[in-house]
Structure 1
Amino acid sequence: MDAQKAHPLAGRRIVVTRAKEQSGGLLEHLREIGADALEFPVIKTIPPKTWDEIDGVIAELSHFNWVIFTSVNGVEYFWQRMTELGKDSQAFSGVKTATVGSATADSLRSKGVEPNLIPVRFVAESILEALGENLQGQRFMLPRADIARQSLVTGLEERGAIVTQITAYHTVVGGESGINPSDLLQLLQQGQVDVVTFTSASTVRNFAARLSSVSSKPLPELLKNSAVACIGPITAGAALEMGLKIDLQPEKYTIDNLVVCISDYFNQSSATV
C-alpha cells in the first residue's frame, strides 16, 4: 500500500482536547494513520456530590415514559448507580429510551437496552423533531451533565411534556495529563500545530481557560496558524462565539467521521499544491 494512503496524516501534529477517559479512541485512530497526536485534556467528568437525585429516579423509573441519554457519560454514570443498587436492564421494561449519537446508543446497548429512538442528526434538537409536537402529559427523564444546554428541556416542555432532569455527572476543567499549557503555547506560537480538535462546547471554553493561564492573547490569535476542527454544530457554535474560524466539521457528528474529515482536509490541500 502507498505510504501516503496508509498514513495520510504523517507529519501532522494534532491536538486532542477530549477528557482523558474518552480521548483514547481518537488519539489511537489519529496515530494509526500517521499523526503526531498530542493529548491536552481540558475537561474531566466527576460523579455528583450525592447520588440521592439519581437514586430517586431509579426507584421511580417505571413512572417515566421516556429516558433520554444525550452522552456516553450520561449512560455510564447512570448505570454505575443502577449496578450499585442491584438494578439491570430489566428496570427499563416498558420505558422508552432515546439517545443522541451512535456512541451513546452503543453504550446503552452494551447495558442491554436497545434505544427506541436514535435521531439521524446527532444533536438534541433532532429528538424534538422525531418525537413530534404533541407530548402532552408524557413524562421524560434526562440524566445529563450539570452544564447541559436547556434547549431540549425547553422544547419538551413547550410540547406539553413533564420533564425531570438530573445531574448524572459534573464536567470540570481537566489537565492532570498530556502536554502542559506552556509547551503547547510554544508550539502554537511557532506554527507547529496543524489542527486543534474540539468535541464539545465545553472543550472550546476550557481550552481557552487553560491557555489563559500562560498567555493573555485572545484565542483566535493563539490559533491563527492552526486549523480548527469541530465535531458538530453545537461545538462549532461555541467556537464561533470565541471568535474562531471553523476549518473542519464532518457531516456526521462522530469521532470516526471527524478523523476522516481531517484526513481529507490535508489530502485536498496536498492535491492543490
Structure 2
Amino acid sequence: MSAPLQRRKIIVTRDEKGAKRFSKKIAQYGGKAIEVPLLSISYDENEENKRLLQELDPYKWIFFTSANGVEGFFTLLQLYEISFSTLKNIQIAVVGHKTEMKLKKYGFSADFMPTIYNADTMADEFLSSYPDPGKVLLVRGNLSRNILPEEFVKATISYDCIQVYKTMIKRANRDRLNKALQEDYDFITFSSPSAVDAFMTLSDYPINKPCVCIGTTTEQRAKEVGFMKCLSPDSEFTIEAMIQCMIDYINNKE
C-alpha cells in the first residue's frame, strides 16, 4: 500500500475504542495518529429503559442513528436478560454503513438505510418510502439531535425514544489535548458535533489547522465555532472517507 499520509500528524479525538481503529487506518496510509479522546461513552441502565426493552411488541420499527446506539441497545438487552428473538418481527432502520456493521455484530441486518448518512436524509427518505410505518422506537444518546422526533411529529407517526447511552466530555484529557496542539500537526479530526464542542471546552489554543469532519452536521458545527478550513466527505460518512479527504487535500495542495 502507498503511504499518501507519510509524515502527516493527525489528532484523533474519538472515544478510546473508536480512536484505536481510526489510528490503525491512519498508520496503514503512513500517517501518525495522535490519540486524544475528548468524549467518553457510558450505557444508561435504569428502570424506564428496562421497562421499554421488556415491552418491544408494539414497535414495528427500531431506529439506530449511531453505532454507539446499537452497542448500548444490545448491551442493555443482555444486561436485562432479554432475548434478541424479541426483535424478530421488528424492522430496523440505520443511519449508515458503520451503524449497520455494528448491527450485524449482533446477528441483524438493516431493512432501511438512507442514501446519505445523516438524520435529515434518513427522515425524508424513510417517510417517503413508509408513510404509515406503525409505531417506532428511536434509540438515542443524551446529545442526539431532535430531527427525527420533530419529523415524526409532523407526519403524525407514533414513536417513543429510549436513551441508551451518555456522551460526556473527557475533561481529564485537557492537558493531553493542549500538549498535542502545541506540537506540529497537520489535521484534527471530529466524528460528531459533541466532539467539536468538547474541543472548544478543553482547548487553550487558537484554531489554525484544517479539521476533518465525519459528515455535514459535524462540519456545520465546526464552522459555527470558528474553524475556517473544514473538510468532510460528500456522502459516505466513515473514517475511510475522512482519510480520503485528507489525501485529496494534500494532493491538491501539492
Could you say which TM-score interval applies, normalised by the shorter chain? over 0.9
Q: TM-score, normalised by structure 1?
A: 0.86
Which SS does the other structure have where 1:132 is aligned? Answer: helix
Q: Within 5 A, what are the aligned runs for 1:97-246?
A: 97-132=92-127, 135=131, 138-174=134-170, 176=172, 180-187=176-183, 192-211=184-203, 215=204, 222-224=206-208, 226-246=209-229
Which SS does the other structure have where 1:61 is aligned? Answer: coil
Aligned residues between the structures:
252
The Cα offsets for residues 245-272 of structure 1, whole Å up to 9 and x where unpaired, read as: 24311122111111111112112222xx
Which SS does the other structure have where 1:167 is aligned? Answer: strand
Q: Within 5 A, what are the aligned runs for 1:14-53?
A: 14-48=10-44, 50-53=45-48
Which SS does the other structure have where 1:63 is aligned? Answer: coil
Q: Is the 8 A contact 2:232 2:242 kept in 1?
A: yes
AA matched with 1:250: P
CA gap 1:167/1:142 in 2 versus in 1, 3 angstroms? same
Structure 1: 5+ residue runs without aligned partners? none
The Cα offsets for residues 20-74 of structure 1, whole Å up to 9 and x where unpaired, read as: 12111111111121112100111111122x4222211211111101110011111
Structure 2: 5+ residue runs without aligned partners? none
AA matched with 1:199: S
CA gap 1:254/1:181 in 2 versus in 1, 3 angstroms? closer
Instruction: Write the distance in 2 (CA, Å) between the matches of 1:137 and 1:268.
Output: 46
Structure 1 window deviating more from structure 2 (143-152 vs 241-250): it is: 241-250
Instruction: Write the distance in 1 (CA, Å) between the matches of 2:5 and 2:133.
Output: 52
AA matched with 2:125: A
- Percent identity of paired positions between Structure 1 and Structure 2: 25
Q: Is the 8 A contact 1:30 1:37 kept in 2?
A: yes
Backbone CA RMSD of aligned residues: 1.9
Instruction: Write the distance in 2 (CA, Å) between the matches of 1:11 and 1:75.
Output: 36
Q: TM-score, normalised by structure 2?
A: 0.93
2:69 corresponding residue in structure 1: 74
CA gap 1:36/1:162 in 2 versus in 1, 3 angstroms? same
Q: Is the 8 A contact 1:54 1:78 kept in 2?
A: no
CA gap 1:137/1:76 in 2 versus in 1, 3 angstroms? closer
2:86 corresponding residue in structure 1: 91
The Cα offsets for residues 75-97 of structure 1, whole Å up to 9 and x where unpaired, read as: 11110111123334311121111
Which SS does the other structure have where 1:265 is aligned? Answer: helix
Which SS does the other structure have where 2:40 is aligned? Answer: strand
